[in-house]
Structure 1
Amino acid sequence: MRAAATGAEILTAARRKVLEEGTGLAQEQVLDVLRLGDEHIPELLSLAHDVRMRWCGPEVEVEGIVSVKTGGCPEDCHFCSQSGRFPTPVRAAWLDIPGLVKAAEETAATGATEFCIVAAVRGPDARLMAQVRDGIKAIRESGNDIRIACSLGMLTQNQVDELVDMGVHRYNHNLETARSHFPNVVTTHTWEERWETLCMVREAGMEVCCGGIIGMGESLEQRAEFAVQLAELDPHEVPINFLIPQPGTPYESFDVVEGKDALRVVAAFRLAMPRTMLRFAGGRELTLGDLGAEQGMLGGVNAIIVGNYLTNLGRPAQEDLDMLSDLKMPIKALGDSL
């Protein structure tokens, strides 16, 4: 039985493998990083930032999101206030086409290059697909050339093909958590069903956006498991969310993730996926606060959602843009790739 590695040894090995060789950490190595003591966090964040700069570069992708169909979802994702199975304050509502066009214009005005259309559904029906198609058409006719992504739940092959035909270039479908923990989070569909949608999306030529939520009762071992499962999928983008306990959901009494633990997660995911776009998403304001957000941007993150989230307020977009300016992190221009 080998002696446990010291924090310095863990970071030295990670530096050699990830920074110098460009190879992501294996599951046990990710777990070692997640177990590092607080005194090693500054060095860990510095390493993750160096990895991001070497293998991804300095640019940051800025994205805005909008919900075209809110609430009333038939699934039982235990973290989600949009589930129709829980007594939450969220009620079903649809966004009309003019509202969608306006949201896209407001997103583009922030300097964002990505606009994601989201719906709270198991998967899209004919009405939703028509709404998305008409919305994209109206956005283009308004002269807005922002890139459009979608997050509409689980898809059939025909629906994947339809989205490609609409010009959707990226599809978001989060695995949410490690495969071993997923049945504790969702019971109305499986982790494998989500994986199948992601494989179809990739094969159709759309970029794959897939991440999850930290703080849903998973163990450190399961966080490490999740990181390497995402690495195996090799998505273009990984959004990292931190649980915001929602009233009426089974997770309403869960504790918020500690800031230092959140930073360890960000850095560990960067070291597991050195070339992947890593995006700050929901819950960062609650978990990290303003200073923590800057630390995360200097700890491996190279993409960010600005403005509000689906059912939770973010911070004003200009504050994030000012933060990027202060950190001398250029915003990726439309048409560039990370």
Structure 2
Amino acid sequence: MTETAEIRSEVQGDILDVARRQVLEEGRGLSREQALACLTLPDERVAELLALAHEVRMKWCGPEVEVEGIISLKTGGCPEDCHFCSQSGQFSSPVRAVWLDIPSLVQAAVETAATGATEFCIVAAVRGPDRRLMEQVREGVKAIRAAVDINVACSLGMLTQEQVDELAAMGVHRYNHNLETCESHFAKVVTTHTWEERWDTCLMVREAGMELCCGGIIGMGETVEQRAEFAAQLGELEPDEVPLNFLNPRPGTPFADYPLVDGTEALKTIATFRLALPRTILRYAGGRELTLGDLGTRDGMLGGINAIIVGNYLTTLGRSAEQDLGLLVDLKMPIKALSQTL
């Protein structure tokens, strides 16, 4: 039996009919095999796929869009060798090591809240936090909470159980720790730590009561089968939020010459991940500006996306907050209120 025949046998009928019954009506996410069937639909069926994903989003998540801003507390000089990342100290990327002071952190949080955002994520380029970083995060979270009404999230690398408990006690609302890619492809993306180490941190975060944000990057040389594998593994993990990034090849990194993801492939991926994760916050993150442009960004919002990062990313430029917020107005998608995320 060919692989295509195996897929058809597994889904037992047209995949969009199957998904309508299983995901839209029952709220059960796609399996790995079903996700692959969606990812390999002919291009002329992309509009149908996006429309179904939008229906799923509206039924199981509602029309609100969660808005988030991010800031780098500690930039560059990371000891890990994530092949996509210009913050690795092992590559010749033109990113210098910088620590942000607490007043600057608070100012960024205040400016982020002024856009209507409900989430502000503090990010550090590290393998995992040392005592100095944990103390600075503690100071920063306390100062932000005193200055502005916004949820504080963190992304500080791999954690110990003690650090997980400490962050939860600080009042950190959500922790971001991306798996980056599926288990079978991970060793071609990172060699200085394992997929299992990341998975373990995610489990500890979820069990500690913090919300878990866990996604990855599409376009790092993975096959379409591995994208389906990744969607299914995220479905098993059940994170509260999945940020979808598309590779923006950075100078000096091993992935510097990788091609951008095709726009149609990107839209298939967005819709498929929504069908695999019907109740999850699915967030537009890095690379969408290059991969999709303005029109594609709109299509993704109508194809399953229900959260965005406004402004710039850690080492790359994003769309202006005004552009994204204007798009939400055009699409009649209200910004999720802070009271709904607490």
TM range (shorter): over 0.9
Work out the CA distance in 2 between the residues paired with 1:74 and 1:109.
35
User: Superposition pairs for residues 8-87 of structure 1, below 5 Å?
Assistant: 9-87=14-92
Q: Tell me if the contact between 1:63 and 1:115 (Cα under 8 Å) persists in the aligned partners.
A: yes
Question: Which residue, out of 160, 175, 179, partners 1:175?
Answer: 179
Amino acid at match of 1:183: A
Q: Tell me if the contact between 1:282 and 1:309 (Cα under 8 Å) persists in the aligned partners.
A: yes
Instruction: Name the residue aligned to 1:307.
Output: 311
Work out the CA distance in 1 between the residues paired with 2:124 and 2:333.
31
Q: Does 1:328 align with 2:332?
A: yes
Question: Which residue, out of 206, 224, 230, partners 2:228?
Answer: 224
SS at 1:248 equivalent: coil
SS at 1:82 equivalent: coil
Q: Please state how far the C-alpha of 1:3 moved relative to its aligned partner.
A: 7.9
Work out the CA distance in 1 between the residues paired with 2:146 and 2:48.
49
Q: Please state how far the C-alpha of 1:21 moved relative to its aligned partner.
A: 1.4
Relative to the length of structure 1, the TM-score reads 0.98
**Off by >6 Å, runs of 4+ in structure 1:** none
Q: Tell me if the contact between 2:214 and 2:242 (Cα under 8 Å) persists in the aligned partners.
A: yes
Question: What RMSD, in angstroms, separates the aligned Cα atoms of the two structures?
Answer: 1.5
Work out the CA distance in 2 between the residues paired with 1:85 and 1:110.
36
Q: Does 1:257 align with 2:261?
A: yes
Work out the CA distance in 2 between the residues paired with 1:64 and 1:337.
15
Relative to the length of structure 2, the TM-score reads 0.96
User: Superposition pairs for residues 277-288 of structure 1, below 5 Å?
Assistant: 277-288=281-292
Work out the CA distance in 2 between the residues paired with 1:130 and 1:60.
32
Q: Does 1:273 align with 2:292?
A: no
Q: Please state how far the C-alpha of 1:10 moved relative to its aligned partner.
A: 1.7
- Aligned residue pairs total 337
Q: Please state how far the C-alpha of 1:162 moved relative to its aligned partner.
A: 0.9
Instruction: Name the residue aligned to 2:149.
Output: 145
Structure 1's 71 and 3: CA in aligned 2 closer, same or farther, altered over 3 A? closer
Q: Please state how far the C-alpha of 1:141 moved relative to its aligned partner.
A: 2.4
Work out the CA distance in 2 between the residues paired with 1:222 and 1:312.
26
Instruction: Name the residue aligned to 2:168.
Output: 164
Q: Tell me if the contact between 1:7 and 1:36 (Cα under 8 Å) persists in the aligned partners.
A: no
SS at 2:15 equivalent: helix
Deviations 1:91-142 (A, max 9, x none): 1100001110110011001000000000000000011111111111111222
| Between 172-181 and 13-22, the greater mean CA deviation after superposition | 13-22
Instruction: Name the residue aligned to 2:109.
Output: 104
Structure 1's 4 and 86: CA in aligned 2 closer, same or farther, altered over 3 A? closer
Structure 1's 288 and 8: CA in aligned 2 closer, same or farther, altered over 3 A? farther
Question: Which residue, out of 181, 193, 199, partners 1:195?
Answer: 199
Work out the CA distance in 2 between the residues paired with 1:288 and 1:165.
39
Amino acid at match of 1:46: A
Work out the CA distance in 1 between the residues paired with 2:7 and 2:28.
22
Work out the CA distance in 2 between the residues paired with 1:244 and 1:3.
34
Q: Please state how far the C-alpha of 1:16 moved relative to its aligned partner.
A: 1.2
Deviations 1:222-281 (A, max 9, x none): 000000000000000000000000000000000000100000000000011111110000
Instruction: Name the residue aligned to 2:128.
Output: 123
Instruction: Name the residue aligned to 2:301.
Output: 297
| Between 155-164 and 243-252, the greater mean CA deviation after superposition | 155-164
Q: Does 1:234 align with 2:238?
A: yes
Amino acid at match of 2:322: Q
Amino acid at match of 2:53: A
Amino acid at match of 2:123: V
Q: Please state how far the C-alpha of 1:313 moved relative to its aligned partner.
A: 0.5
Work out the CA distance in 1 between the residues paired with 2:107 and 2:146.
12
SS at 1:335 equivalent: helix
| Between 63-72 and 14-23, the greater mean CA deviation after superposition | 14-23
Deviations 1:160-217 (A, max 9, x none): 1110111101000000000000000000000000011111111110000000000000
Q: Does 1:136 align with 2:141?
A: yes
Provide structure 2 residue ranges, at least 5 long, that are not aligned to the other structure: none
